[in-house]
Amino acid sequence: MILPMAKLRTLSQVPQVRIGEDDVLRGFVDVECGTHVELRSNSRCRVAFASSGRWFNGVQVYGFPRVIVFGSDGGTFVRPL
């Protein structure tokens, strides 16, 4: 019998975000590859995202069969088998 397992490892994360005048005029800051994580699992797994900043309004997660988009309220995604 193989037991289900999941491992999450943070590979890199930007230490700070620089906000320039153009960003302020545009109304948002796009941080490409702000956090790079590795998720390994041998079973269905649930990815949940929650924001802790009032200034935050969304994130896109790449690496699954489709791009996952979470808004400011966060959300969950269940990885298909």
| Cα distance from N-terminal residue to C-terminal residue, the chain | 18
**Structure pTM?**
0.61
Distance (Å, rounded) from C-alpha 73 to C-alpha 50? 7
Higher per-residue confidence, 39 vs 9: 9
Q: What are the distances in angstroms from CA 3 to CA 42, 48, 69, 70, 78?
A: 9, 22, 30, 30, 19
**Model confidence pLDDT, tens digit, residues 27-77:** 888 888 888 888 888 887 777 888 777 777 888 888 888 888 888 888 888
Q: What are the distances in angstroms from CA 39 to CA 52, 55, 60, 68?
A: 22, 27, 16, 14
pLDDT score of 17 more than 90: no
